[in-house]
Amino acid sequence: MEALRLRLALGPFFSLDIFLYGNVSWFVPRAATTSDAFNAVAEPRRREILNYLAMQERPVGEIVAALGMEQPSVSKHLRVLRDVGLVRVRREGRNMLYSLDAEAIRPLFKWTQTFERFWRHQLQRVKQRAEEKQAAKKD
């Protein structure tokens, strides 16, 4: 009852969740998915769409069929991707054709390169361990 009074006092901008072990979490509205490319690609379905568009320009219907998503959902995701500049659209007759804007993805790529050394180090360790096991089998 106290939590309900507190929520009503705070208004619609905040919500309160009390988890199983009594932890309290305040949810503050997060950045809009259309604010930048990083927020836009945080959604897995949008990454699927980007992967599918990486090969060639495609109409919405083809994206829907290939990814098994509902057309309104695909259209909403494409709108977000277009708003942040990751996807371009052009009209050809009655079709809207979507394509990836590779230049707009460059900031995402550059940011991930920051962490490449960690991946490379892990892969080197895996390779080294595999080579050690292979050498041990021969002995």
Tell whether 26 is covered by a domain.
Answer: yes
Distances (CA, A) of 30 to 103, 126, 139: 27, 38, 58
Cβ-in-10-Å burial (0-12, 13-18, 19+) of 60 comes to middle
- Write the pLDDT tens digit of every residue in 17-31: 555 555 555 555 555
Tell whether 58 is covered by a domain.
Answer: no
- Six-digit token string for 127: 């390779």
Tell whether 36 is covered by a domain.
Answer: no
Tell whether 127 is covered by a domain.
Answer: yes
Tell whether 89 is covered by a domain.
Answer: no
List the domain range (segments joined by +) for residue 132.
108-138
Rounded Cα gap, residues 136 and 47, in angstroms: 42
Tell whether 42 is covered by a domain.
Answer: no
Tell whether 11 is covered by a domain.
Answer: yes
Tell whether 76 is covered by a domain.
Answer: no
- Write the pLDDT tens digit of every residue in 46-67: 999 999 999 999 999 999 999 9
Give the total number of structural domains in the chain. 2
pTM, entire model: 0.63
Rg (CA), the chain: 23
- Kindly list the strands in the beta sheet with 58-59, ordered across the sheet, starting from the edge strand earlier in the chain: 58-59, 95-100, 87-92
